[in-house]
Amino acid sequence: MFAGAMVALVTPFSEGEIDFQTLDELIEFQLEHGIDGIVPVGTTGESPTLSHNEHKKVIERVVKTVAGQVPVIAGAGSNSTAEAIELAAFSKKVGADATLQVDPYYNKPTQEGFYQHFAAIAEEVDLPVVLYDIPGRCGAGMTAATIVRLAEVENIVAVKDATGQMDHVSGIATQCDLTILSGDDSMTLPIASVGGKGVISVVANIVPADVKAMTDAILEGDFGMALKWHKKLFALSRGLLSLATNPIPIKAAMSMLNMASDEMRLPMTPMEDSQKAALEQTLQEYGLLD
C-alpha cells in the first residue's frame, strides 16, 4: 500500500485562508495523473502555520475528495506525543489510511524518547504509521538502531527518510523490513539502490506522472529506465529544494504554472524576485514553461 509515488501535497491559501476549491483541484490533478498516494499537511503542506482545526479540516477534505481511490497518509505529527495521538485518532476517524509521524521538533528527545513517542502513537491508534525522519528540520533525528527497534512495533510500517545519508538508509534496510521511502526527490533512485520502494515527493505536485514513471521502473526492477527518469528529474528536484526553503519554491513554481497561488503564511514568505528567474529557467528547461 505504501510504495511508489506519493505526493507531499501543498496547502493552497487565498487571502490568508485555506483555498479548499484549489485543494480539490490539486487532488484531482494528482488522481488524473496516476499518483499512488497523497500525503497532506506535512512539511510541504505548511502544517506548522495551520491551526489544529485547520489541520483537521485539510485531512478531512483530502480524504473526502480522494474517496478511496488511493491511500491518504495524513500528516499528524507533533512534538507533543498527546497531540500526535489526538491528530492520529482524528485521521483514523475521518478515514485516512495511515499517518505520517515526524521526528518531535524543538524539544530534541533522546533515542529512548523517540522510541517511546512513536511506539505510544502506534499502540494508541490502530492505524499504520509512516515514520518521518528529517533531522535537518527537527534539530534531532533517529539512529538506524532506533528505527530498527521501532520496526518491531505493530502498526509501524514504513519510514520516510530525509537524512541524506546513504549509510543510515543502508543500516535500516539491512536490519529490518520496513518500507523505506525517500523524503528527498533527488535521493529517490539512490535510496532505491539499497532497497527503497518509492518517494513522498515535492516535485510530484507539478509532474506526478514523471515521478510515478520513475518509481514504477524502480518497483519493476528496471533501473536503467529509472536512471533515465532520475536524470530528467534531477535538476528540477534540486532546484525546488536549493533555491529556498521548502515549500517556497514549489509554491512559486505552481503559481508560474497557474496551478495555485504562491501565498504563504508568516514566517514563510514567497520567493524573492532574484530567485524567480532561476526557477523559471529550470521550468523552461524541463519543458513546463514556454
How confident is the model at residue 239, as a pLDDT? 84
How confident is the model at residue 241, as a pLDDT? 84
How confident is the model at residue 103, as a pLDDT? 97
Q: What is the pLDDT of residues 222-231, one digit of tens each?
A: 999 999 999 9
Is 286 a known active-site residue?
no
* Cα dihedral 280/282/283/286 (nearest 10): 160
Low-confidence ranges of the chain (pLDDT < 50): none
Exposure string over 11-42, b if 16+ CB within 10 A, otherwise e? bbbeeeebbeebbeebbebbbebebbbbbbbb
User: Does any domain span residue 48?
Assistant: yes
User: Does any domain span residue 108?
Assistant: yes
How confident is the model at residue 269, as a pLDDT? 95
User: Does any domain span residue 270?
Assistant: no
User: Does any domain span residue 110?
Assistant: yes
How confident is the model at residue 290, as a pLDDT? 86
Range of the domain at 158: 4-220
User: Does any domain span residue 114?
Assistant: yes
CATH number of the domain encompassing residue 26 = 3.20.20.70
How confident is the model at residue 35, as a pLDDT? 98
Element (H, E) at 207: none
Is 132 a known active-site residue?
yes
For all residues of the chain together, what is the average pLDDT? 97
* Cα dihedral 167/172/173/175 (nearest 10): 120
The region, left, alpha or beta by phi > 0 then psi within -120 to 50, assigned to residue 90 is alpha
Domains identified in the chain, total number: 1
Choosing from 92, 132, 197, 276, the catalytic residue is 132
Local structure of 156: helix, strand or coil: strand
| Furthest C-alpha separation in the chain | 52
Choosing from 56, 92, 160, 276, the catalytic residue is 160
- Which spans in the chain are helix H? 20-32, 52-66, 81-94, 111-124, 135-138, 144-150, 166-173, 188-192, 208-219, 223-242, 248-256, 273-286
Confirm whether pTM is higher than 0.95.
yes
User: Does any domain span residue 156?
Assistant: yes
How confident is the model at residue 7, as a pLDDT? 98
